[in-house]
Amino acid sequence: MRFDQPATTNPIDQGRVVGKPTPRIDGPLKTTGTAPYAYEHHGATAKPAIGYVIGAGIAKGRVAAMDLVAARKAPGVLAIVTAQNAGKLGKGKMNTAKLLGGPQVDHYHQALAVVVAETFEQARAAAALVNIRYETAKGRFDLAEQKAHAQLPKDNGFSGAPESRVGDFDASFAKAPVQLDASYTTPDQGHAMMEPHATLAAWNGRNLTVWTANQMIDWAVGDLALTLGMDKKNVRVVSPYVGGGFGGKLFLRADVLLAALGARAAKRPVKIALQRPLMFNNTTHRPATLQRIRLGADKDGKLTAISHENWSGDLPGGGPETAVNQTRLLYAAPHRYTANRLAVLDLPEGNAMRAPGEAPGMMALEVAMDEMAEKLGLDPIAFRLLNDTLVDPEKPQRPFTQRRLADCFKLGAEKFGWSKRNAKPAQQRDGRWLVGQGVAAAFRNNLLMKSKARVRIEADGRAVVETDMTDIGTGSYTVIAQTAAEVLGLALDRVVVRLGDSSFPASCGSGGQWGGNNACAGVYAACMKLRALVAQKAGLGEGAEFAGGEVRGGGQAQPLAKFAGLVAEDGIEYGDIANRAQQSTFGAHFVEVGVDAFTGEIRVRRMLAVCAAGRILNPIAARSQVIGAMTMGVGAALMEELQVDKRRGFFVNHDLAGYEVPVHADIPHQDVIFLDEVDPSSSPMKAKGVGELGICGVGAAVANAIYHATGVRVREYPITLEKLLKGLPAVA
Give me the residues paired with residue 79 across strands.
Answer: 116
**Pairwise CA distance, residues 468 & 578, whole Å:** 24
**Pairwise CA distance, residues 380 & 359, whole Å:** 20
- 3-class DSSP state of 247: coil
CB 348 within 8 Å of CB 60: no
Report the side by side order of strands in the sheet with 77-82.
77-82, 111-117, 49-55, 270-273, 198-204, 207-212, 235-238
Q: Which amino acid is at 682?
A: S
Question: Any idea what DSSP says for residue 680?
Answer: T
Q: Which of 583, 509, 593, 556 is nearest to 214 (CA)?
A: 509
Q: Which amino acid is at 271?
A: K
Backbone angles phi, psi at 127, to 5 degrees: -60, -35
**Pairwise CA distance, residues 83 & 61, whole Å:** 15
Over its C-alpha atoms, the chain yields an Rg (Å, rounded) of 27
Look up the pTM and report it.
0.97
User: C-alpha angle with apex 45: 118 to 271, nearest 5 degrees?
Assistant: 45
Please state whether the peptide bond connecting residue 718 to the residue before it is cis, i.e. omega within 30 degrees of 0: yes
Element (H or E) spanning 686, and its range?
A: none
- Write the burial class of residue 732 (CB in 10 Å: 0-12 exposed, 13-18 middle, 19+ buried): exposed
The alpha carbon dihedral of 220, 226, 229, 231 has a sign of: positive
Can you give the pLDDT at residue 348?
97
Can you give the pLDDT at residue 160?
87
Question: Any idea what DSSP says for residue 153?
Answer: P
Question: Any idea what DSSP says for residue 154?
Answer: P
Buried b (16+ CB within 10 A) or exposed e, 640-659: bbbebeeeebbbebbeeeeb
Can you give the pLDDT at residue 333?
98
CB 302 within 8 Å of CB 193: no
- 3-class DSSP state of 513: coil
- Give the domains, in start order, of the chain with CATH numbers: 2-35+448-578 (3.30.365.10), 42-138+194-281 (3.30.365.10), 395-445+583-732 (3.30.365.10)
CB 589 within 8 Å of CB 440: yes
CB 304 within 8 Å of CB 174: no
**Pairwise CA distance, residues 598 & 668, whole Å:** 22
Can you give the pLDDT at residue 732?
63
Catalytic residue numbers, as ranges = 692
DSSP 23-45: --TTHHHHHTT-S--GGG-TTTS
Distances (CA, A) of 256 to 200, 210, 232, 297, 316: 8, 7, 15, 52, 23
Backbone angles phi, psi at 204, to 5 degrees: -135, 90
**Pairwise CA distance, residues 552 & 422, whole Å:** 62
**Pairwise CA distance, residues 483 & 528, whole Å:** 11
**Pairwise CA distance, residues 622 & 558, whole Å:** 36
Phi-psi label, residue 77: left if phi above 0, alpha if psi -120 to 50, beta otherwise? beta
The alpha carbon dihedral of 138, 140, 144, 147 has a sign of: positive
Mean pLDDT by 10 residues, the chain (732 residues): 97 98 96 95 93 98 98 98 98 97 98 98 98 98 98 85 97 98 98 96 98 98 98 98 96 98 98 96 98 98 98 97 97 98 98 97 98 98 98 97 98 98 97 98 97 98 98 97 98 98 98 97 98 96 93 95 98 95 98 97 98 98 98 98 98 96 95 98 98 97 98 98 93 72
**Pairwise CA distance, residues 294 & 305, whole Å:** 8
- 3-class DSSP state of 258: helix
Which residues 6+ apart lie within 8 Å of 170 measured at CB? Answer: 337
Beta carbons within 10 angstroms of residue 110's beta carbon? 25
Element (H or E) spanning 609, and its range?
A: strand 602-612
Q: Which amino acid is at 418?
A: W
Buried b (16+ CB within 10 A) or exposed e, 594-610: bbbbeebebebbbbbbb
Backbone angles phi, psi at 327, to 5 degrees: -70, -25
**Pairwise CA distance, residues 441 & 381, whole Å:** 9
Beta carbons within 10 angstroms of residue 20's beta carbon? 14
